[in-house]
Structure 1
Amino acid sequence: MPGRARGMAVVSVAAVTGLTVAIGGSGIPAQAAQSNDYCGGHCADILPPGENGNATLADILANRALGTRPPHTDDQLSTYGTLANKYGSVTNATINQFFGDASFGVPSDQVASSVQPRSDVTIVRDKALGVPHVYGQTRSGTEFGAGYAAGQDRLWLMDVFRHVGRGQLSGFAGGAEANRQLEQEFWAAAPYTEQDLQNQVTTIANSGAAGAQAFADINSYIDGLNTYIKQAYQGRYFPGEYDLTGHVDPITNAGGIEPFKPTDLIAIASVVGALFGTGGGGEVQSALVKQAADARYGTTVGDQVWRSFREENDAEADLTIHNGQRFPYAASPASPQAVAMPDPGSVSPQQEIYDPTGSAKSSTSTAAGVLPGNLLSAKHGMSNALVVSGKYTDDGHPIAVFGPQTGYFAPQLLMLEELQGPGISARGVSFAGTNFYVELGRGQDYSWSATSAGQDVTDTFAVPLCRPDGSAADKNSDHYLYNGQCVAMEPLEVDDSWSPTLADSTAAGSYKLIVYRTKFGLVQYRATMNGAPVAYTSQRSSYQHEASSIIGFQMFNDPDHMASAAQFQDSASHINYTFNWFYVNSTETAYYNSGWNPVRPSTVDPNLPVSSQYEWVNWNPGTFTSDYTTPAEHPNSVGQDYYISWNNKQALDYTAGGFGEGSVHRSNLLDSRVHSLVTSGQKISRADMVKAMEDAAVTDLRGEDVLPTLLKVITSQPVTDPKQAALVTQLRTWLSHGAKRVETSQGSKTYADAAAIGVMDAWWPLLAQAEFQPGMGDALFTAMTGAIQINESPSGGQNGPSGSSGINQSISHKGSSFQIGWWSYVDKDLRAVLGQPVADGLAQPYCGAGDLSACRTALLTSLTQAGAEPASTVYPGDSSCSAGDQWCADSIIQRPLGGVTDPSITWQNRPTYQQVVQFAGHR
C-alpha cells in the first residue's frame, strides 16, 4: 500500500476516523475537513505523472526489468494525456475523468493510509492519488508534517536541486554533460556563497512577525524532513538513486544522506527563482541587433528597424488587462542617455570554467543528465490562465481553468499536498523543498494561480575596467571603477569533481566554476567601448532576495488574508518574483502582476546596456536593494469580464524588455476562444472552459493565425505547378480542420493531417529565412535570430538558425510550444505586402522587398523546398524516437530525474499542473 511503500506502518481507518486535529484553528475530525470546503465538489486538479516520487533500488531495478512502478508513480499521466483527443465530449459531469478531485479532506472510505510522525500531526493519504493531507494540531506540527511528506515523495529531487543551487550537481549526481552544462548555466545566473544563503535566512527571521513565523515554519519543516531521512536510511526505504550514485552502499548501507538545513531551502528557492520568476535582461543581444540594423540602414532608419522588431508597445499585442487601463513601465525614453553600446565585434562571453586538466572537455558520458543541460537558458512556457466572471457563467459564480507549466519530469518538480493547521488551510502544489506552504492552489473558498510575467527586472550595466597599479587595463581585468576607485571584482568560486557511478559511467573529472560579482551585478560579457575595456554586468532585482517572497506565499495559505480580491492583491504584492497572479472566489475575479520593478532614472533606456553611473534609484550594493515601483503601478484588475494569460503582454504601456509581443502570440489562441464564449450569449460552464483551454492546447499557432495570410499571398495568382498546388491543398485542408495536432484516434500515435503538419514544420524556418534574410542581410539576420529564435515547434527540431547567441532555446519533448518565434514579424510583413492595414508595422518591407509577386515567388520556392524534405530530416531521431517518427518527435516525455521512467503521451500545449474551479459559496 502507498503508506507502507513510503516506509511507515498503516494506521487503520477506524483509528483515523476518530482522530481530532486542528484545521484552521478548530479541532475537527480529519475526515470532516470538507466542512471548511466551499467549492461544492467543483474543484479539480491534475499533476502528471503521479504524486509518488520515491522509488527504492528494488523499485528501480524492477522498473528497468519488468516495467513495473511503485503505486501512484504514474496514475495521473494517462488521465492527463487522454484529454487531448477527448476534450470535445467533456461535460461538467465528466470533468473528473480528466482531473482529480481537489476537495478538502479524505472521506473515511477513501483513506489509504494514515501516519503520525509526531504526536501533533497526522498525514493521511487518499486511495485515489496518494496525495498527502497534512493535519496539524499545532502550526509547528503542520510544518513538520509538510517536511515529512516532502521527504516521502521528493527526497531525491530536493537533494538534486540543493546541489544545483550550489553549482555542485556533477559531484552529486554524476558528470554527465547535461549535468555540467546545467550547473555552469545556473552558477552564471545565481551564484551564492554559503554566507549569502545564510544572509537570506537571517533576513527572513528579522522580517517582523510574519518573517519570524516563516522562520519557525522552515525549521519545523526541516525537522520533519530530517526525521524522515533518518528513518528511511535506517529502514532502507530511501530513494534508490542514492545507491546508484554511490552515496549509499547497496549491500552494506554504508554512507548516508546529508540532513537538510535552512540554507538548503534557500539554494532550492534560488533555482526556482532563476528558472521561473525573473524577466528582462538580454540588453547586449538587443544592442547587437541595433548595431547591425544601423550598419545596414544608417542610424536613423536602423533605429526605426530595431524599434519595430522590438515591438515594445505594439498596438496589436494581446493584453491580459484589455479594458484600456495603462501601466507605464520600462519604456524607451525619447532621448535616452548613457546608452553603452559595445564596439562592433568586441563582445565576448565571460569565461566561467577554469579547467586546468581538460577533464571537463575530454570526459564523455553514456548517461543523460538528471536535468536538461539548457533548463535555465531555454525559454519556459510557464503557464496559462482562463478566468471568467460569474456574470457569464451557468450558476453565477466565476470559473477558472489555470495552472503553471514547469516542464514534464518524473518525478514532477511540483508536488501535491493539502495543509491544514492553525493559520494554514490550502491544497495545491509547491516546488519540492519549498512546500512548507502551498504555492499554487486553493483555499477554503478561493483559488489562485500564476503565469510567468517576465517584465523587465534585470538590467545590463557597462562597467569600466581598470588595473590597481594605474596601468592600462584590458578586457580580462578583474578590477573595475566604482565611485572613482579601482576595486577588485569578487570571485564566486565552486570546485566540482565527479567519479564514475552505477548510474553514470562518465570518466572522473573536475573543474572550477568562477563568476565575478561587482557592485553593479554579475559579469556576463567583456567588450570595449570606444576602445576602452568594459565588463557588461547583469543586475536582477530579486538576486540575493529569492527567499523574500515567502511572506506572500504565507499569506496565500492563510484564509484571513485571502477572503477578498483586495486581500489577494495585497498578498500577491509581497512576492518579488515576476508573476501574473489570478484569483477567484464565489463572487470575485482578480489579477495582479508581482515583482520588484526597479525605479530607473527617467532618461535611461532599459532595453539597451547602460553606463554604470546611471544606476537604479537608491541602489544599495550592500543590501542589493533599490527603490521599486508601488503596487498600484503594477498591472492589476478586479472584475474584468474575463482574463487570459499565456505569458503575453500584461497591459498597455507595460513592457517586458524582450522581443516578440506583437500581433501574433500564443495567447491569441486562448483570447479568441474565451472572448467567443463571453460574447456568445450562452452561459458558460466549467466544461466549456476546459474545452476552450484544450482546443487551444492542440492547435498550431502558425496554422491558425499566420497560415491564412501565407495562403492569401500564395494564391494571389493561380498556383499552376502540380507539386506546389498539392502542398497548398494539404495546408488548406488542415486549416479547414482547425490546424490541430491531434491523433487520428486515441492512442493511434499518428496525426490527422500528418502530411500538412510535416510541411508546416519544415516550411516555417525556410519561409522566414526566405522572407527576411535577403532584405536584412546576413549580419542583421544573424543578430535577430540570436535575440529571438525563428521557431519553436512541438518537436523542437525545426527552429532554424540559432543566430549570434548560438543558443537553441528549445527542449525536446517538453509539450510547451509556440512561446517564441517570428510569427508576428511574418504576419505584419505579409499583411503589408497584401496592402492590408497594419498598426505598428515593421519599419522596412522584407518579403520580396514589398512586391507581392516577388514575395509570392519566395514563399513558393521555400514551400517547394519544405515539401521535398524527407521526414527523417524534419524529425531527426533521438534516444527516444526513430528518425521520421512525427508523433514521437512531438510527444511529451516525463524526463526522468531519477531511476524510474514513464510512458510518453501525445503532444498538447498545456500547463503541467492545472486546476478547474468554481466556488459555490463563501465564508
Structure 2
Amino acid sequence: MPRSAPRNALDRLRTPRGLHGFLKGASVCALIAGLLSPLSPAMASDTDSAEVATAAAPAEDHCGGQCSDILPPGQNGNATLAQILLNQAFGTQPAHAEDQLGPYANLATGYSALTNDKIDDFFNDASFGVPAGQVASTVRPAGRGDVTIVRDKKTGVPHITGTTRYGTEFGAGYAAAQDRLWLMDLFRHVGRGQLTPFAGGAPANQGLEQQFWRSAPYTEADLEAQIESAAAKAGERGELALADVDAYVAGINAYIDASDRGRYFPGEYVLTGHKNAITNAGTIERFKRSDLIALASVIGSLFGAGGGGEVANARSLLAAQEKYGVAEGTEVWESFRQRNDPEAVLTQREGSFPYLPRPDDPQGRALPDAGSVQEEPLIHERTGSAATAGAAGASTEAAGAAVTSARRGMSNALVVSGDHTASGNPVAVFGPQTGYFAPQLLMLQELQGPGLSARGASFAGLSMYVELGRGQDYAWSATTSGQDIIDTYAVELCQDDYHYLYRGTCTPMEKVERKNAWKPTVADGTKAGSYTMRVWRTKYGPVEYRATVGGKKVAYTSLRSSYLHEADSIIGFQMLNDPGYLDGPERFRSAVQNINYTFNWFYADSEHTAYYNSGDNPVRADGVDAEFPVWARTDYEWRDWDPDHNTARYTEASLHPQSVDQDYYISWNNKQAEDYPAASWGNGSVHRGNLLDDRVGKLVAEGGVTRAALVRAMAEAGLADLRAEDVLPDLLKVIDSAPVTDPEARTAVDRLKAWRAAGGLRTETSAGSKQYAHADAIRTLDAWWPLLVKAEFEPGLGSGLYTAFTANLPVDESPSAAHGPTGAHAGSAFQYGWWSYVDKDIRSVLGESVQGPLAREYCGGGDLAKCRDSLLGTLKEASGRTAAQVYPGDDNCSAGDQWCADSVIHRTLGGIKHGGIGWQNRPTYQQVVEFTSHR
C-alpha cells in the first residue's frame, strides 16, 4: 500500500480521520448538501446574464476538420468546496475536470492501429466554432453585449467571440478565471515570493517560493514597470497590448465579483482561510497588471531561460585540472562538456549558426579558489515549525518536485513538408510539455474578435492571446531551446560584504526582502511560522554565491537577458493571433523574433513549414567564454549593455537557427544547429531527439506521410527506452565478445536481447494490465544503468571528478528515476543522462569510429576484456536486485510496483485529485494539424 502520513489539510481530508475531524462530527452528505445550497458553476449560471445555448458563426477555417488537440486532465480547473469534498470522499469529478485524461492515456496502447479517421478518438476536434448540437452554454460575461463565451458539450472549452476588441479580451479574462482562478492566484503569489502567507507554510510551499523568487527577486515597482516598458518599445502594437491587458484583467475581476456574489468561487479559498463557507466573509484579492508580470516571471523561469551553471562548470573544470593537470584536464573537461558535438542530432540540419564559440585565448575568467565557493543564504530569521502545512501544500509540493525538470524543457515537435506527405500538404504533430498538474498550467480557448483569430493553449493568467495553437490557415508550436542567455559575473567586494566595485566605484548592493509569516492550519493542528527571504542585487544581477578568486573576495551574480523584461514577448504573441498580420512563414518568423525567451518555434500551413529559434542572445565581449564566470569589469560586459534597464546588443535575427520548408523538422530539446551549442550538458551522440529523428526520417524516405503515421511515430518514440534502443546494442557487443558462462548473467543477457528485439519499449502486456511486457528486462536495465556508469567512469576519473561531473549532468533520467532532478511520476524521461558518454566510450573500446570522442577511454581502462568484466559484474549485481529494491515505493505506489513507479500522476495544485496513467514521454498539450487550403 502507499506509505507516508498525511502532510497537509488536503491530505488529511483524504483520510477518514482527517475528513471526520474537518467536518467536526457532521455527516459528509449533510455538509455537502448544505454547501451545495449556494450557487455553483455545476448547477447555475456563473455570469450576470445567461442566455439560451446558441452557436456563434465560426471564423474562416482552412483546416477542413484536420486540426486536433489534447490537454489533460480537463478544461475545468476550478471546483467549489462541495465539489472538492465530493472528490475527496467519493472520487467524483466536476464536469470537464478530467475528460481529456482518458483519451490522452489511451494513445499509449492504441497508437499502433491508428488511422486518420481515428485520430479524434485520442484528440479533440480543434476546428473553429461549436456545432449547434454541441453547445453546452452561451453566456455574456458581466452582461456585456460585445462578447459571448460558448462552451462545447464534449470538453467545456471556451469559444470567445467579441464584436469589439475590448469585449473579446474581457471575455478571455473572464473565461480564464472561470477555469483557473485558484491556480492563477497561487502562481501570482509564487512569482512574488509570497506563497506561504497565502497558502500556508508547508515545506513544499516554502521551497517553491524560494526557488522562483531567487531568480526573479522583483520589487513591486519592478513588476509594475515591465508591461509599460515593453509596450513603449512597440508603438501602436504596444498601446494595443496595454489595452488588451487592461480588458483581460477587468474580465478576471468581473468573474471574481460574480463568483463572490454567487458563492461559487474555488473551494480552496475556504480551505486556506481566505473565505468563510458559511458566512461568505473574507475576500479574494482582485487582479492588476503587475500580477501578470509575476505570473510571467514564473513561466519564463520554467521554460524560457537557458544558461547559467557557470560556477558548477568552474568547479568541475578545476577538479579535472587537479586530476590531470591544466592542459589535459581542460581537454578532458571539454570532451565531457560536448559544446559542439559532431554526432549530435540537429533540428536545423543545414547551415552553420555560430554562437558562443570556445575562444582560443579566454579573457576575463574568474575561476574560484578551490574550496572557497559558498551559496548565498536566502532564508533568515526563521521562526516556528518548518513543517507547518497549508491547504495547498500537496499542490505546491508537486510543483516544487517538478520545477527543475520543467526548467530543463520537455517539449517535442515533428513537422513534415508537403513534398513528403500523402496529401501534398504539410503535416505537424507538436506541443509543449509543461509538466502534469491538476489543474494544468495551460488552458484551452478559442479567441475570435477584431484582430484576433486563434484556438489553442495559453498559460493560465496570461491567456489574453493564444500562445500555442492554430490560426485560420496556419498552426504554430514551440519547444524549449535553452541556449545560453544567462552569465555569471564575479563582482569584487569593497568596504564590506555588501559593497562592490561597479566600473571603478565602490557601490552598495540593493537589499530586497520578503518577510513571510503564515498562520497555523486548523485541520492539521500545525504551528505558525515565519522567515525572511533576502536577496542582494547588483547591477550585474542577484548574488548567488560568495567565493575568493586569487585571494580576492567576490560575489558571483547571475545576469539573464530577460531579467526585467518578462513582458517583452507579448508583442510576438499578439502578432501570432492576428490574421491580418500573419499570412505566411516570413511573417511567422517576424512575429516570433519579438519573443525574448529561448524557444524553438515551428510553423505549418497548407503550403509551407518553417522554424525559428527565439531569444535575446546577448553579444559577449571578444574572448569571453560564457561557460565560466567572468570579472564584472567593463571589458567583459555584454556589448552596449545598459545596466539601468538591462538591455544590450543582441545577435541579429539572421544568426539564429532558422529555415523554411526543410524536408522535416524534429525537436526534443536537442541541439538546434551546427555551431549553436545548447546551454545544458549532454547533447552528444545519443539524445532522445534521435528517437524522433530515426522514425520521422524513415517515414520521409518512404514518402506519403499521413497525420496518423506521424502520430504513431511520436507515440512510439514516447514509449521507447532510449538506453535500450541506442546504447544497449553496443553494451551487448562488448559482453558478446566472449561466451557468457555464468547462468545468472546469461539469463539477464537473454532477457535484455529479447526486449531489445521487441523494440525496447516500456509498454503494457495489454491495455489496462498495469504490467509491463519484458518486465524483468526493464527492471534489470533500470538497476544496471547507474551501476555500470559508476563502474565504467569513476575508476578513471576518480571520485572527486566523477562527482563533479555528475553535478553538471546526472547519470540517468529513466521514467522511474526519482533519484534524478525530475522526481517520480513526471512523465518526461531520457532528456539528460550519461548515454552519450557510455556510447562513445564503449564504441572506442570496441575499436569503432567515433567523431568527437572522449579524451580518454574509461571502460576497463580501454581494455576490452576488463571492460567486459566490469559490465558483466554490474549486470549480475543489477539482475539480483528485486523489484522492491529498484522501485522502493512512495506516497502513490507500493514498493515493487514497476508500472506505478513509472506512471504519470497529475500533481494536485488544488483540491481535485486524479488517478495515475501509464507512462508516456510526450507533450502535455499537443496538436495534430494538416491544413487543406490557404487564404
Shorter-chain TM-score: what band?
Answer: over 0.9
Check if 1:342 corresponds to 2:365: no
The answer (yes or no) to whether the contact 1:2–1:112 under 8 Å persists in 2 is no
Check if 1:921 corresponds to 2:909: no
Aligned pairs (5 A) from 1:825-836: 825-836=837-848
Give 1:381 shift.
3.7
Q: Which runs of 5+ in 2 are unaligned?
A: 1-39
**Aligned position for 2:654:** 632
Check if 1:659 corresponds to 2:697: no
**Aligned position for 1:679:** 701
**Distance in 2 (alpha carbons) for counterparts of 1:175 and 1:792:** 30
SS in 1 for 2:464: coil
The answer (yes or no) to whether the contact 2:203–2:386 under 8 Å persists in 1 is no
**Aligned position for 2:17:** none
Bigger mean CA deviation after superposition, 199-208 or 407-416: 199-208
Check if 1:104 corresponds to 2:128: yes
**Aligned position for 1:805:** none
The answer (yes or no) to whether the contact 2:202–2:387 under 8 Å persists in 1 is no
Instruction: Output one character per residue of 1:172-230: Cα deviation in whole Å (capped at 9) or x when no partner.
Output: 11111111011111111111000000110221342311111000000000111100000
The answer (yes or no) to whether the contact 1:241–1:899 under 8 Å persists in 2 is yes
Check if 1:327 corresponds to 2:353: yes
Q: 1:182–1:12: structure 2 CA closer, same or farther, 3 Å change rule?
A: closer
**Distance in 2 (alpha carbons) for counterparts of 1:451 and 1:382:** 7
**Distance in 1 (alpha carbons) for counterparts of 2:760 and 2:491:** 49
Check if 1:588 corresponds to 2:608: yes
The answer (yes or no) to whether the contact 1:163–1:169 under 8 Å persists in 2 is yes
**Aligned position for 1:597:** 617
**Count of residues paired in the alignment:** 888
Aligned pairs (5 A) from 1:152-301: 152-207=178-233, 208-301=235-328
The answer (yes or no) to whether the contact 1:177–1:365 under 8 Å persists in 2 is no
Instruction: Output one character per residue of 1:404-445: Cα deviation in whole Å (capped at 9) or x when no partner.
Output: 000001110000000000000000000000000000000000
**Distance in 2 (alpha carbons) for counterparts of 1:341 and 1:10:** 65
**Distance in 1 (alpha carbons) for counterparts of 2:595 and 2:524:** 39
Give 1:16 shift.
2.6
Instruction: Output one character per residue of 1:804-826: Cα deviation in whole Å (capped at 9) or x when no partner.
Output: xxxx4122101011101001000
Q: 1:867–1:353: structure 2 CA closer, same or farther, 3 Å change rule?
A: same
SS in 2 for 1:134: strand
The answer (yes or no) to whether the contact 1:415–1:432 under 8 Å persists in 2 is yes
**Distance in 2 (alpha carbons) for counterparts of 1:453 and 1:134:** 31
Q: Find 1:576's aligned residue among 576, 596, 599.
A: 596
Give 1:561 shift.
2.3
**Distance in 2 (alpha carbons) for counterparts of 1:365 and 1:129:** 31
Give 1:715 shift.
1.1
SS in 2 for 1:719: coil
Instruction: Output one character per residue of 1:617-668: Cα deviation in whole Å (capped at 9) or x when no partner.
Output: 0111100111001111111100000000000000000012331110000100
**Distance in 1 (alpha carbons) for counterparts of 2:50 and 2:491:** 63
Instruction: Output one character per residue of 1:544-595: Cα deviation in whole Å (capped at 9) or x when no partner.
Output: 0010000000000001222110000000000000000000000000000000
**Aligned position for 2:805:** 784
**Aligned position for 1:802:** none
Give 1:10 shift.
8.7
Check if 1:33 corresponds to 2:71: no
**Distance in 2 (alpha carbons) for counterparts of 1:648 and 1:826:** 18
SS in 2 for 1:533: strand
Give 1:372 shift.
2.7
**Distance in 2 (alpha carbons) for counterparts of 1:384 and 1:673:** 14
Give 1:362 shift.
6.2
Give 1:355 shift.
2.4
Give 1:611 shift.
1.1
**Aligned position for 1:842:** 854
Q: Find 1:691's aligned residue among 709, 712, 717.
A: 712
Q: Which runs of 5+ in 1 are unaligned?
A: 18-29, 468-472, 800-807
Q: What TM-score does the superposition give when structure 1 sets the normalisation length?
A: 0.95
AA of the residue aligned to 1:531: G
**Distance in 2 (alpha carbons) for counterparts of 1:11 and 1:718:** 77
Q: Find 1:441's aligned residue among 469, 475, 492.
A: 469
Check if 1:899 corresponds to 2:898: no
AA of the residue aligned to 2:866: A
**Aligned position for 1:563:** 583
**Aligned position for 1:431:** 459
**Distance in 1 (alpha carbons) for counterparts of 2:825 and 2:604:** 32
AA of the residue aligned to 1:860: L
Q: Find 2:669's aligned residue among 644, 647, 650.
A: 647
The answer (yes or no) to whether the contact 1:365–1:507 under 8 Å persists in 2 is no
**Distance in 1 (alpha carbons) for counterparts of 2:394 and 2:172:** 31
The answer (yes or no) to whether the contact 2:147–2:162 under 8 Å persists in 1 is yes
**Distance in 1 (alpha carbons) for counterparts of 2:658 and 2:455:** 25
Q: Find 1:351's aligned residue among 372, 377, 392.
A: 377
SS in 2 for 1:525: strand
Q: Find 2:331's aligned residue among 304, 323, 328.
A: 304
**Aligned position for 1:122:** 148
**Distance in 2 (alpha carbons) for counterparts of 1:385 and 1:648:** 11
* Root-mean-square deviation (Å): 1.4
Aligned pairs (5 A) from 1:413-812: 413-467=441-495, 473=496, 477-501=497-521, 506-613=526-633, 614-680=636-702, 682-797=703-818, 799=819, 808-812=820-824
Instruction: Output one character per residue of 1:488-519: Cα deviation in whole Å (capped at 9) or x when no partner.
Output: 11111111111233566542110000111101
Give 1:853 shift.
0.6
**Distance in 2 (alpha carbons) for counterparts of 1:561 and 1:525:** 46
Q: 1:289–1:847: structure 2 CA closer, same or farther, 3 Å change rule?
A: same
**Distance in 2 (alpha carbons) for counterparts of 1:482 and 1:752:** 62
**Aligned position for 1:868:** 880
Give 1:845 shift.
1.0
**Distance in 2 (alpha carbons) for counterparts of 1:569 and 1:602:** 29
**Aligned position for 2:46:** 7
AA of the residue aligned to 1:97: D
The answer (yes or no) to whether the contact 2:47–2:255 under 8 Å persists in 1 is no
The answer (yes or no) to whether the contact 2:338–2:684 under 8 Å persists in 1 is yes
Aligned pairs (5 A) from 1:22-61: 30=56, 32-34=57-59, 36-61=60-85
**Distance in 2 (alpha carbons) for counterparts of 1:813 and 1:376:** 13
Give 1:11 shift.
5.0
**Distance in 1 (alpha carbons) for counterparts of 2:387 and 2:471:** 52
**Distance in 2 (alpha carbons) for counterparts of 1:503 and 1:906:** 33
The answer (yes or no) to whether the contact 1:174–1:504 under 8 Å persists in 2 is no
**Distance in 2 (alpha carbons) for counterparts of 1:392 and 1:252:** 64
Give 1:612 shift.
1.1
Check if 1:93 corresponds to 2:117: yes
AA of the residue aligned to 1:784: F
Q: What TM-score does the superposition give when structure 2 sets the normalisation length?
A: 0.93
**Distance in 2 (alpha carbons) for counterparts of 1:3 and 1:319:** 49
**Aligned position for 2:27:** none
AA of the residue aligned to 1:221: Y
SS in 2 for 1:295: helix
**Distance in 1 (alpha carbons) for counterparts of 2:203 and 2:45:** 32
The answer (yes or no) to whether the contact 1:245–1:502 under 8 Å persists in 2 is no
The answer (yes or no) to whether the contact 1:280–1:657 under 8 Å persists in 2 is yes
AA of the residue aligned to 2:789: A
AA of the residue aligned to 1:629: T
**Aligned position for 2:31:** none
**Aligned position for 2:4:** none
